[in-house]
Structure 1
Amino acid sequence: MKVRGFILQASYRVVTEPDGRRVPVVHLYGRLEDGGTFLVRDDRQRPHFYIRADQAAAARAVGAPEPEPSDKRTFGGLPVCRVAVETPPDVPGLRDRLQAAGIDTFEADVRFAVRYLIERGIKGGCEIEGDGVPGTGIAWVFDNPTLRPAAVDVEPRVLSFDIETDGKGERLLAISLYGPGVDEVLIVDGGDRPMPERATRCKDELAAFDAFTDRIRRLDPDVLTGWNTVDFDLTALQRIATRLRHPFNLGREPGPLRIRKAEGYFGSGQATIPGRLVLDGIDLLRGAFVRMDDYSLDAVAREVLGEGKAVAGEVRDRIHEIMHNYEHDLPAFALYARTDARLAYEIVRKLDLVRLAFARSRLTGMTPDRVAASIASFDFLYLTELERRRLVTPTVRSDDASVHAAQQGGHVLEPVTGLHRHVWVFDFKSLYPSIIRTFNIDPVAYVAEPSPGADLIETPGGRFRREPAILPSMLDELFPRREAAKKAGDDVAANAIKILMNSFYGVLGTPACRFHNPALANSITGLGRHLLQWSKQWFEAAGFRVLYGDTDSLFVLSGIDDPETARARGPELAASLNDELARYIGERWRVPSRLELKFEKLYLKLFLPRVRHGTGGARKRYAGLLHGGGADSVEFVGMEVVRRDWTALAKEVQRELYQRLFSDRSVNEYLADVVKRVRRGDLDEALVYRKNLRKDTGEYTATTPPHVVAARKMTQPPGRLISYVMTTAGPEPLDNVQHPLDREHYVVKQVKPVAEPVLATLGLDFERVIGDSRQLDMYALLGAE
């Protein structure tokens, strides 16, 4: 039997044989191309790692099993031997003993099931050849088949679910489900109340668990999703199931739900269900680098779908409203529960987040629930290539992440402050990946101690061999694949490749990565600075003024009065620079240039502000009016309008002021009117601050920022994002506002800071524009916060 499928989950189980031997069995769950499901079980793989061959005797002396011969070598060319153990849990203890004895280990931290896939070169898709037998809950089970890599694309079945509990999360009220052909809610109700549309009565919590697990089994989803699914829904269900002594089997095979708690304040938990993926909507959103001011379901749904939760009250009253509806208005309660599951599903579907996770899995080899782990993804890719080259790499030790070395960042040119007309913006296309390709920057190609007269590529951070290396070869393949995906309109595939390529530099610069080397990171950033400066000098030699530059972009004053002429000239200049740059790189380094400067856009007007309370230019902050985008097409970068920790008032005022500045309209009357409305209380809804806690509130000891003060006053346990207002008694959370708003604070701390750069450009003074300098000067003198 020969079939093709896509791996959803890779794990292992340890089985005790009749003779007492403990045998690890790789378990690969997945979907077949024909829509069926499969399980591959393989007991032939042995857990192993490597040591240097010249340390084999020393390893035996500290109790290691007899090392086995190997044809692999270290990066330095030294032969290694293989150390195999009985089960994967035996590895860490032996590894630590060897390392404590001064014996170097290699790849002793690679996960057992991941090693199985790496050695076979399998990235998501695979061809399975062997004897398959029908399974229970799984279409086909294969024991010890032959696996080969294959290009496989499947459409996973996705189901969203959401639970409702009492305020303490201890009693289950309802479970809602939403997906293709599914829109229902299971309501726990021991009475005889009539059930609303699409609602099913469950006489008690136990019945609700039975109904839920039965629905999962019949619908057979590949992916379970929702919002805060792991840290709340599944965690609460597991806790309640334990109380009820319910087996709570959600998998395709019998087996417990395993939840790994979040690590660190910003971490997210992970859930493992045999044969199914759990992809939390919040994690998918963050993993795809979709930035939101507020990651709550209501806020994201309003931003992405244009609708929010089905409740009428404010945030602070929602728990009370939900409990009231559960007891007195079941139709409203059922609609609320079903809406939550539907919104989570529709967000994930509209943004193609599950498809993106699967596309990234096909690229990196990581299962879809782990593609956001950039270091692990890089590991999988690079180790797969090392396997082909028969090379091994050092083990990542737990203390390696604390190693730090000086690393240089991207170069930023000093801004020429003020308002400028007809400014070109040029960007290097994928600068850091292009530098890696051009200069062969790679862990294998790096030469720490070159031989005299060696023909190497010299960079600011180190020297590299000229023979084609692993990373440049990967990128040589990825660049055209991304272009092909873009031309085909496959935005998901193009985005997956972009995320992967852009991760390479960051991973190499991270001490927790096994391939971390400051020389590599500094070579990339050093060449980036050199190329930015070279390009600046090229434009200046051509008679143009460079107003600003940041890492991979240059802002150049065109000096052309007609915007259409300026727009047409931009691409011509980019082409000329690329030709000259290719000649320069070829002559100096004797390598073909992969660098490409692109004309990105034309700003009809560009404002580069001064640094606040200083005279120099503010870096990474500007506002520009785009050519061809209409009067309202103002772009903001680094300004308050795009930052979460400024109020909606400040953002709206800033947006309006720059639109007026760029369209030569007066700002005086508008600004004076805004201040009057703030003081009258007309804009109170726009005065809310939102800021993330970086740690638990009790850990703030040296200083206590306003959002921490507010968090400590909340009536409910605080989440990560704290919403608060400034009152006459200081910061207070939205769910516990006890004092009048300090509106003058908002005039001084929100309106004035965003207005002053525009007013200074126009030669105006804030206090005079709003007409009461005495009062504001006195307020500032008192240092009111």
Structure 2
Amino acid sequence: MAALVGLPLTRRQRDVDGRLQLSYWLRTAEGAEEVLIDGEQSVAFIRSDDCAAAEPLISDLKGCSLRPLSLQSLAHEPVSGLYASNLADWHEALGRLQQAGIGLMEEDIRAVDRYLIERGIFAGARVVQSQTVDGGASSTCANTRLVRDDFIPGLRMLSLDIETTLRADRILSIALQCGDQEVVLFNGPIAAGEQILPCAGERALLQALMQQVRSMDPDLLIGWNVIGFDLRVLEQRARTLGIRLCLGRDDQPLRVEQSQTGRWFARLNGRLVLDGIDTLKGATWHFERYGLEFVARELLGRGKLIHNPSDRGEEIQRLYREEPLALARYNLEDCHLVTDIFHKAELVPYLLQRARLTGLALDKVGGSSQAFDNLYLPRLHRAGYVAPEYASGQGDLEVPGGFVMDSRPGLYRHVLVLDFKSLYPSIIRSFQIDPLGLALGTRGDAPSEALVPGFHHAIFDRRHALLPRIIERLWQARDQAKQDGNSALSQAIKIQMNACYGVLGSKVCRFFDQRLSGSITLRGHQILQQTAEHIEATWGHTVIYGDTDSVFVWLGDDWPDTSRDTHAYGEQLARELNQWWRTQLRERFDLDSALELQYEAHYSRFLMPRMRHSEKGSKKRYAGLKRDSDGEQLVFRGLESVRTDWTPLARQFQQELYALIFHDEPWHAMLKQRVEAVFAGQHDAELVYRRRIRQPLEAYTRNRPPHVRAAQQLENHRREQGLPSYYAVGDSVAYLMTVNGPEPEELLRSPIDYQHYVDKQLLPVADSILPFLGESFAKLVAPQIDLF
């Protein structure tokens, strides 16, 4: 056991014989093994001045104690530790102290998590056992502990997918794929084969499922909505049939639970469950829709074996009755799609790198605040301090978001984009922004040369700042990851560095204080404004827009593009601005600048549109023809072409119209032909709107937008047919606008309102650019419209 090294997959804490026990399932090179650790305690902190009031409240709890510590709060008050040797007394003690109004610090950190955090165990762990000595001979009782190790094992991944009746009240088949092993468990008669196992009823089906999972022995269970649907249905059917559905590595049954926010969680010991949708989003993959069919076609170039989602449910029922082998193939192909998506997007390597970087469990969704804790708390404790009461910092200040400059609308030639690399993390590094630094800087006893001013009366003591050092190490690690071509690690570091700002401005973080977040964003505003002013004063170029960390520099329509290397000029601008900022920070604050401005792009044509019904320039909306060594590329930001709530008609029209205008090619004929084709019904397939339901349909009472009305029509129809509800919160509704209003794509009955699409889809797209050419969509197409 002394040489056992592995990756903690799952962790839990429980009371055994009245004592706290920590359990970690480690994935080793040979397999998986549970490691049990006894003798640890749950820990929280209170102000030492509160001990006199707290002690009588917990005196009857034998497992609890209070101890003075050589630590203090960020308010510079001595603190004492509240310790509990079992969970029952721990939760009782917390309840009593909270009811009495006694402030608690770090009480929400579970012992099973704190054990790893304080030892720096973010990913790999090594098991160490030391024997106690009794009478000169080794005792049979070993003291087990974990220490940090860099070991990362290969993980076995099992893709799971089920097919059910329309009401999900009976399971028809279960497909499993784990590497080269794959099988379809079929409920009923079917030709048995190497990949197909017939089962006589659901009870036999679930028993076979447990046997297959034990045989394949995966570390990860993956699927598409695998927790909220597949595992939830499996658990419900097992409970109905009186079966203990044990899919973990012990004898505990599967538990599927839903949080107050609506998120589903699966509880297994020794195996992790990863939902494809959540994992993609967490790794910052963005898709117009997150259905398996859509994502698979975008990433893999292929989709499900039944393509039409509107009749997929009924088709599955037909295949079950008439073509069971076809259903088995369909079921198994869904598993293949999920597995291939995980491989293509490198999701597991990303999660492993995230774990090594932040200590987050592989199945943790979100977790920015917890990752911050994992990185920051051990360093804070070693500095002699504990975290404040949860989100107790100053919160009544006006803190703006990222800087967005008023734009100068127009159709331009030759615009350069200069972008600050990781602006907010670089501000934290440069200006020493830090929770501990704020506590010590505002105390009033630090020498003036150690202080760095912030905003909202924040002052930071640069001598004790912890966060800038954390950011610097992450920054260096990301640069190395880029050099090594490790895209998964680079992406994980980028996300975490940016999250270090985000959590400080959010009440989900225990270090929330608007003096911290305000000192970051307001400094960002200052940096962008001064950068723009310096460009205009020194080089004479006009800055037409600025957004969060970028400035858009217009070189002039008469820029001699053929006689000067524009890319080299952009890089020169960035170098000289970086040197200017280094000088500014050294002279004004005696600080080393970590600000790094980069030349990002050259747009040979660039549109900054106006706000609708206004002469003012828009924000976060632009388009351009980008030039680089690979050629030209049309880029859209915030416009119809990249917005999923606009129809394919509008998006395709915008791309074609802008491309013609940006290349100075004739465009009038295309515009008029497009209008004629719409009225002729030649673009009906491109008229579908897709919008997401943000709350239950019944919650839309005062305002019922078109997609909600369309969804309700389909729900009413299904109810009349005796079918279950089709839509859930987060689902996308596909509908068209007809002469009788919005109708769902699946129940289209009325003629399409083509005038609506011309007025609401084509006209806004065209009139975002045509006025800069002295043209008007309405005047150009009026004769065509009169014909219909």
TM-score w.r.t. length of structure 1: 0.93
Q: Alpha carbons of 1:503 and 1:669: their partners in 2 closer, same or farther (altered >3 Å)?
A: same
Q: Corresponding residue for 1:137?
A: none
Q: Secondary structure at the match of 1:54?
A: helix
Instruction: Spell out, residue by residue over 1:118-168, the C-alpha distance to the aligned partner (whole angstroms, 9 max, x if none).
Output: 222211111211289xxxxxxxxx974232112222221111110000000
Instruction: Spell out, residue by residue over 1:561-614, the C-alpha distance to the aligned partner (whole angstroms, 9 max, x if none).
Output: 216521111111111111111010111111100101011111111111011111
Q: Could you tell me which amino acid in structure 2 is paired with residue 222 of structure 1?
A: D
Candidates 331, 336, 349, aligned match of 1:337: 331
1:167 and 2:166 are equivalent in the alignment:
yes
1:88 and 2:69 are equivalent in the alignment:
no
Give 1:702 deviation, angstroms: 2.1
1:474 and 2:470 are equivalent in the alignment:
yes
1:201 and 2:198 are equivalent in the alignment:
yes
Does the 8 A contact of 2:68 with 2:81 survive in 1? yes
Candidates 522, 542, 552, aligned match of 1:555: 552
Give 1:196 deviation, angstroms: 6.5
Give 1:96 deviation, angstroms: 3.9
Give 1:520 deviation, angstroms: 0.4
Candidates 224, 229, 232, aligned match of 2:229: 232
More deviation in 360-369 or 93-102? 93-102
Q: Corresponding residue for 2:364?
A: 370
Q: Could you tell me which amino acid in structure 2 is paired with residue 211 of structure 1?
A: A
Distance in 1 between residues matched to 2:5 and 2:193, nearest whole Å? 44
Candidates 427, 449, 452, aligned match of 1:435: 427
Distance in 2 between residues matched to 1:504 and 1:513, nearest whole Å? 10
Give 1:401 deviation, angstroms: 11
1:2 and 2:3 are equivalent in the alignment:
yes
Instruction: Spell out, residue by residue over 1:323-360, the C-alpha distance to the aligned partner (whole angstroms, 9 max, x if none).
Output: 11111112221111011111111111110112111111
Q: Could you tell me which amino acid in structure 1 is paired with residue 429 of structure 2?
A: R
Q: Corresponding residue for 2:685?
A: 685
Q: Corresponding residue for 1:409?
A: 401
Distance in 2 between residues matched to 1:450 and 1:755, nearest whole Å? 60
Q: Secondary structure at the match of 1:599?
A: strand
Distance in 1 between residues matched to 2:204 and 2:3, nearest whole Å? 42
Q: Alpha carbons of 1:371 and 1:541: their partners in 2 closer, same or farther (altered >3 Å)?
A: same
Q: Determine what percentage of the aligned residue pairs are the same residue.
A: 37
Give 1:630 deviation, angstroms: 6.8
Q: Alpha carbons of 1:113 and 1:203: their partners in 2 closer, same or farther (altered >3 Å)?
A: same
Aligned counterparts, 1:634-645, within 5 A: 634-645=634-645
Does the 8 A contact of 2:402 with 2:525 survive in 1? yes
Q: Alpha carbons of 1:492 and 1:635: their partners in 2 closer, same or farther (altered >3 Å)?
A: same
1:298 and 2:298 are equivalent in the alignment:
no
Does the 8 A contact of 1:371 with 1:377 survive in 2? no
Distance in 2 between residues matched to 1:554 and 1:89, nearest whole Å? 57
Distance in 2 between residues matched to 1:429 and 1:421, nearest whole Å? 25
Q: Secondary structure at the match of 2:606?
A: strand
Does the 8 A contact of 2:707 with 2:733 survive in 1? yes
Candidates 388, 411, 422, aligned match of 1:394: 388
Distance in 2 between residues matched to 1:425 and 1:608, nearest whole Å? 13
Q: Corresponding residue for 1:608?
A: 608
In structure 2, the gaps of 5 or more residues are 132-140, 719-724
1:761 and 2:760 are equivalent in the alignment:
no
Give 1:78 deviation, angstroms: 2.3
Q: Could you tell me which amino acid in structure 2 is paired with residue 45 of structure 1?
A: E
Instruction: Spell out, residue by residue over 1:304-330, the C-alpha distance to the aligned partner (whole angstroms, 9 max, x if none).
Output: 111111015x22111111111111112
Q: Secondary structure at the match of 2:768?
A: helix
Q: Provide the aligned length of Structure 1 versus Structure 2.
A: 755
Aligned counterparts, 1:3-18, within 5 A: 3-15=4-16, 17=17
Does the 8 A contact of 1:365 with 1:380 survive in 2? yes
More deviation in 523-532 or 467-476? 467-476
1:316 and 2:316 are equivalent in the alignment:
no
Q: Corresponding residue for 1:136?
A: none
Candidates 205, 211, 214, aligned match of 1:214: 211
Q: Secondary structure at the match of 1:369?
A: coil
Distance in 1 between residues matched to 2:568 and 2:241, nearest whole Å? 71
Does the 8 A contact of 1:407 with 1:521 survive in 2? yes
Does the 8 A contact of 1:558 with 1:566 survive in 2? no
Distance in 2 between residues matched to 1:223 and 1:584, nearest whole Å? 51
Q: Corresponding residue for 2:528?
A: 532
Does the 8 A contact of 1:668 with 1:770 survive in 2? no
Q: Secondary structure at the match of 1:320?
A: helix
Candidates 451, 469, 482, aligned match of 1:486: 482
Does the 8 A contact of 2:40 with 2:85 survive in 1? no
1:724 and 2:735 are equivalent in the alignment:
yes
Distance in 1 between residues matched to 2:35 and 2:280, nearest whole Å? 31
Give 1:66 deviation, angstroms: 4.0
Q: Corresponding residue for 2:757?
A: 746
Distance in 2 between residues matched to 1:159 and 1:404, nearest whole Å? 49
Distance in 1 between residues matched to 2:752 and 2:394, nearest whole Å? 45
Q: Could you tell me which amino acid in structure 1 is paired with residue 349 of structure 2?
A: R
Give 1:707 deviation, angstroms: 1.2
Aligned counterparts, 1:442-457, within 5 A: 442-446=434-438, 447-451=441-445, 454-455=448-449, 456-457=451-452
Q: Alpha carbons of 1:278 and 1:754: their partners in 2 closer, same or farther (altered >3 Å)?
A: same
Give 1:710 deviation, angstroms: 1.4
Q: Alpha carbons of 1:89 and 1:247: their partners in 2 closer, same or farther (altered >3 Å)?
A: same
Q: Could you tell me which amino acid in structure 2 is paired with residue 127 of structure 1?
A: R
Q: Corresponding residue for 1:783?
A: none
Q: Secondary structure at the match of 1:738?
A: coil
Q: Corresponding residue for 1:138?
A: none
Q: Could you tell me which amino acid in structure 2 is paired with residue 223 of structure 1?
A: L
Give 1:494 deviation, angstroms: 0.6
Q: Secondary structure at the match of 1:122?
A: coil
Q: Corresponding residue for 1:44?
A: 39
TM-score w.r.t. length of structure 2: 0.92
Give 1:88 deviation, angstroms: 2.9
Q: Secondary structure at the match of 2:50?
A: helix
Give 1:197 deviation, angstroms: 6.7
Q: Alpha carbons of 1:144 and 1:251: their partners in 2 closer, same or farther (altered >3 Å)?
A: farther
Q: Could you tell me which amino acid in structure 1 is paired with residue 290 of structure 2?
A: Y
Q: Secondary structure at the match of 2:435?
A: coil
Q: Could you tell me which amino acid in structure 1 is paired with residue 254 of structure 2?
A: L
Q: Alpha carbons of 1:437 and 1:157: their partners in 2 closer, same or farther (altered >3 Å)?
A: same
Q: Corresponding residue for 1:579?
A: 579
Candidates 60, 65, 68, aligned match of 2:55: 60
Does the 8 A contact of 1:759 with 1:765 survive in 2? yes
Q: Secondary structure at the match of 1:356?
A: helix
Give 1:666 deviation, angstroms: 1.8
Distance in 1 between residues matched to 2:677 and 2:70, nearest whole Å? 77
In structure 1, the gaps of 5 or more residues are 133-141, 780-785
